[in-house]
C-alpha cells in the first residue's frame, strides 16, 4: 500500500447517543499519536454490525470519496475496544508493507471463527489462510476502492443468506443450511449463534468471503500493523498478552473479548480498559 498522511483517513464507528463517553479512550489515544480520527455516525442509532459497519459506512464513504478524491486509503478501528499505540506515520509505514489489492484485517484467535462456531468452517478457512488466518473485522485497512468492492461482495452475501436463493453444492449453501439448522444439512454447528446473529454481524460476511477463498481478504497474521489480544491486559514493554497472542510490531491494538460492545454498560470493564490505557501510557 502507498499510504501517506495526505491520502489516508482513520475512521471509527461512534453510533451511540453518549458517543463522547464511549469513544473517550480511542479518541485520546488517537490525539496523542497525531491521528485525526473521523467518528462516523457519531450520535446516531446503532442497528447492528452489518447495518452500521457495512451498509451505512459504505454509503458515507462513497459520498466522502466523491468530495475528497485525493483520499485513497482508509484505516478502520472499532471505537470501544481498539487503541492506537504508535504514531500516525509509524502506522502508515507498517501498512505500506501490505499488498495494495487486498483489504487487510487483524487476526482473530487461531481456528476461532465467530459467529459461525464450527470446526469444519474454521478448517475451510485455514486451508487457504492458515490456522492463524481467521479475520477479525474490528481493525482493517485498505485502498478505498477495494474496501468498497469488499462491501459490495458482503452485500451480495447478505442478499443470498437472507433470501430464498439456492446454490447447490456451494460453500455458501452449506453455510446457509448450517446456520438455519436446515433438516438434512450435511454440516452441523457445535455451537451456533443462529441466522439472525450471523446476518447482523459484519465479521460473518467477511469470514464467508474467506470460506469462499476470496482473494480480496487478507489477514495480518504477523501482527505487522494490527494485533488483537485476549485473556489478560498486555504490557507494551514485552509486546505479549499472556504469551498467547503476541503483539508483534502492531500500532493498533484490539481486544474484542475483554471489552466487547455487548458489555458496554458494565462499569468494571470500562474502568479496566481505561486503567490499562493509562498504565501503559496509551493515553495521558
Q: What pLDDT sits at residue 267?
A: 54
Q: What pLDDT sits at residue 273?
A: 87
Could you tell me if residue 111 is inside a domain? yes
Q: What pLDDT sits at residue 194?
A: 75
Distance CA 284, CA 277 (A): 8
Could you tell me if residue 226 is inside a domain? yes
Could you tell me if residue 2 is inside a domain? no
Q: What pLDDT sits at residue 263?
A: 58
Enclosing domain of residue 75: 8-279
CA angle 252, 267, 265 (to 5 degrees): 85
Strand-by-strand arrangement of the 252-254 sheet: 82-84, 252-254, 226-228
In the chain, the number of structural domains is 1
Could you tell me if residue 129 is inside a domain? yes
Could you tell me if residue 3 is inside a domain? no
Could you tell me if residue 256 is inside a domain? yes
Could you tell me if residue 253 is inside a domain? yes
Could you tell me if residue 113 is inside a domain? yes
Q: What pLDDT sits at residue 125?
A: 97
Map grid coordinates 439456492 to a residue. 166
Q: Pick from 272, 237, 235: which is nearest to 257 by CA?
A: 272
Distance CA 172, CA 130 (A): 20
Q: What is the DSSP letter of 114?
A: S
Q: What is the DSSP letter of 255?
A: -
Provide block-wise average pLDDT over 10 residues at a time, the chain (284 residues): 97 94 95 97 94 97 96 96 96 97 95 90 96 96 98 97 91 89 52 77 97 97 94 80 78 83 57 89 95
Amino acid at each position: 500500500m502507498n499510504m501517506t498522511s495526505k491520502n489516508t483517513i482513520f475512521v471509527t464507528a461512534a453510533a451511540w447517543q453518549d458517543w463522547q463517553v464511549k469513544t473517550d479512550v480511542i479518541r485520546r489515544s488517537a490525539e496523542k499519536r497525531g491521528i485525526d480520527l473521523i467518528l462516523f455516525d457519531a450520535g446516531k442509532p446503532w442497528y447492528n454490525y452489518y447495518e452500521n459497519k457495512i451498509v451505512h459506512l459504505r454509503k458515507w464513504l462513497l459520498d466522502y470519496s466523491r468530495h475528497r478524491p485525493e483520499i485513497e486509503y482508509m484505516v478502520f478501528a472499532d471505537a470501544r475496544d481498539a487503541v492506537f499505540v504508535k504514531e500516525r506515520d509509524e502506522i502508515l509505514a507498517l501498512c505500506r508493507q501490505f499488498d495494495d489489492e487486498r483489504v487487510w484485517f487483524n487476526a482473530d484467535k487461531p481456528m476461532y471463527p465467530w459467529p459461525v462456531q464450527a470446526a469444519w468452517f474454521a478448517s475451510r478457512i485455514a486451508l487457504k489462510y492458515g490456522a492463524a488466518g481467521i479475520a477479525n473485522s474490528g481493525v482493517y485497512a485498505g485502498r478505498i476502492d477495494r474496501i468498497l468492492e469488499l462491501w459490495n461482495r458482503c452485500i451480495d452475501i447478505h442478499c443470498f443468506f437472507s433470501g430464498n436463493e439456492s446454490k447447490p453444492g456451494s460453500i455458501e449453501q452449506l453455510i446457509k443450511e448450517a446456520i438455519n439448522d436446515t433438516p438434512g444439512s450435511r454440516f452441523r454447528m457445535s455451537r451456533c449463534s443462529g441466522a439472525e446473529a450471523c446476518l447482523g454481524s459484519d465479521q460473518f460476511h467477511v469470514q464467508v468471503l474467506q470460506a469462499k477463498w476470496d482473494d480480496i481478504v487478507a489477514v495480518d497474521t504477523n501482527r505487522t500493523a494490527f494485533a488483537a489480544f485476549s485473556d489478560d491486559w498486555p504490557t507494551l514493554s514485552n509486546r505479549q498478552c499472556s504469551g498467547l497472542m503476541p503483539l508483534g510490531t502492531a500500532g493498533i491494538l484490539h481486544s474484542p473479548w475483554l471489552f466487547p460492545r455487548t458489555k458496554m454498560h458494565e462499569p468494571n470493564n470500562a474502568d479496566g480498559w481505561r486503567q490499562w490505557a493509562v498504565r501503559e501510557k496509551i493515553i495521558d
